[in-house]
Amino acid sequence: MTVQSQKIGFIGAGKMGSALMQGIIKAGIVKPENLGASDVYEPFLNELKAQLGINVSTDNAVIVRDSDILILAVKPQILGSVLENLKAYITADKLVISIAAGVPLATYENALPEDTRVVRVMPNIAATVSEAASGISPGKNATPEDLKIALEIFSAVGTAVQVPESLMDAVTGLSGSGPAFIFPVIEAMADGAVLEGMDRKSALTLAAQTVLGAAKMALETGLHPGELKDMVTSPAGTTIQGVHALEEAGIRAAFMNAVIRASERSKELGKK
């Protein structure tokens, strides 16, 4: 069975949910008429319907009944009440995929019917441009086919890897929150060029492309980031001066701490 032959329903149509919907449609995984979404905010649903051509409803049960695959895209803080509302409508033939940060598989498996097939996924906002980085962990009832479907969906909007559930909080801190760590870097690099006299538009374009190019080199060459850095830092050159400035500012500790703090928050959300 392929994803293209099934209907996907989103419970929650916020920033992450809508980003995934846009990415899924752009990737051609399913036709818009086979994609549905529910949310409490009707004006936004109507906007999504007009923009993407999907089916919408303010009633979660309508989307659940009409879907083969459910993607739960609600905030962890309200997930408990959502699961309570949904459990009467979720049957064994439906695959449940959750993208709620920090919420363990056991939460779903305990709240929903005992045979419910659940896969936990942590994507990121770059799904909008089909460049998401997603970690995927299957639940105890999930089949190899379920895992394959989840990987197919999230690989179509970027890169997806299977990880043990014990590492999902680390995935949340690294790639789930990661874009928010990189956007200020792009802005700050552009600010430096603006200070040197460059116009803002050109500076932002060059800064963003520099980050994109560096990431692509790391992925495609397979070289250690340290090796790639050494390829650019010639003796007594301009780049090593900049690297020295970053090290003086504690760049490594700052980024490590950002990932660690975000991961810790993910663990806290899972305990509520």
Q: Model confidence over 232-251: pLDDT tens digits?
A: 999 999 999 999 999 999 99
Task: Using CA atoms of 238, 243, 244, 245 in order, give the dihedral in degrees to the nearest 10.
Answer: 90
Beta-strand ranges (E) seen in the chain are: 8-11, 35-38, 55-57, 69-72, 95-98, 117-122, 132-138, 158-162
Buried (b) or exposed (e) across 64-79, using 16+ Cβ within 10 A?
Answer: beebbbbbbbbebeeb
Q: How many residues in total does the chain contain?
A: 272
Longest Cα–Cα distance of the chain, Å, equals: 68
Task: Using CA atoms of 124, 157, 159, 140 in order, give the dihedral in degrees to the nearest 10.
Answer: 80
Supply the pLDDT for residue 4: 80
Question: Quick check: 1 pLDDT over 80?
Answer: no
| Mean pLDDT score, 212-217 | 97
What residue segments make up the domains of the chain, in order of their start? 3-168, 178-270
Average pLDDT, the chain: 94
| Mean pLDDT score, 143-165 | 95
Task: Using CA atoms of 10, 13, 14, 19 in order, give the dihedral in degrees to the nearest 10.
Answer: 70
Instruction: Say if residues 133 and 109 touch (Cβ distance below 8 Å).
Output: no
- 272 pLDDT tier (thresholds 50, 70, 90): low
Percentage above 90 pLDDT, the chain: 81
Question: Quick check: 5 pLDDT over 90?
Answer: no
Range list of H helices, 87-199: 105-111, 144-155, 168-171, 178-195
Supply the pLDDT for residue 41: 86
Task: Using CA atoms of 137, 92, 153, 145 in order, give the dihedral in degrees to the nearest 10.
Answer: 70
Question: Domain 178-270 class?
Answer: mainly alpha
Domain 3-168 indexed as CATH 3.40.50.720: yes
Which one, of 84, 136, 93, lies nearest residue 112 by Cα? 84
Strand 158-162 with 132-138, pairing: parallel
Question: Quick check: 78 pLDDT over 80?
Answer: yes
